Amino acid sequence: MTISVFLLDDHEIVRRGIAQLLETEPDIEIVGEAGTAAGALARIPALRPDVAILDVRLPDGEGVSVCREVRSAVSPPPACLMLTSYSDDQALFGAIMAGAAGYLLKQVAGVDLVGAVRTVAAGGSLLDPKATALVLDRLRHGREPAASDPRYESLSPQERRILELIADGLTNRQIGAELFLAEKTVKNYVSSLLHKLNFARRTEAAVYAERRRRS
């Protein structure tokens, strides 16, 4: 049987590289791709791929949110393989809660990515058992990340990451370089999180984030 795969990544060169890698395999076929969360949500239900490879960070949303939505909207749902540039506990937590079948760093070797696609297509999981156990323990004891402050809960995972980097003293340009986002995009995120936290200045947000770290 041929495994149908959908690719979601905001970098065209990354999509092309993954597509070229996977399409050399006789049992894997790329049936569609998108560079935005909106594009993926519009196309995946119609294409019904076996596997969806989703970038965690996108210019208009989160790959984890795409995973959650397509898995609830498509039957049978695709196996979602999350792909990210660096390890992030919050994103891993979100991926597990969204029902993702795997979570890989983009530094993964080509042969391992091919193996991962076959594994999740067959119903397997590539989530670290220890990480999954930690998430389940947090849920069991009501210690999921940022559960104590409604304002913080209203922030998206991306806004929470940016808040942490603000607390580290990074400028919008430096945050953009760290998260592979345009400086203008970062500025929009900062404005949004300040509004949600009811702060007028980023220094207030930095102090708030630092207090959370110490609590």
Sign of CA dihedral 192, 193, 199, 201: negative
pTM of the model: 0.62
Note the pLDDT tens digit of each residue in 72-87.
Answer: 888 888 999 998 876 6
Note the pLDDT tens digit of each residue in 44-62.
Answer: 999 999 999 999 888 888 8
Note the pLDDT tens digit of each residue in 160-209.
Answer: 999 999 988 888 999 999 888 999 999 999 999 999 998 888 888 888 88
Judge residue 83's burial from the number of C-beta atoms within 10 Å of its C-beta, 0-12 exposed, 13-18 middle, 19 or more buried.
Answer: buried
8-state DSSP, 78:
P
Do 179 and 188 meet the contact criterion of CB atoms below 8 Å apart?
no
Note the pLDDT tens digit of each residue in 16-35.
Answer: 999 999 999 999 999 999 99
Mean pLDDT confidence for 115-120: 93
Q: What is the mean pLDDT of the chain?
A: 85
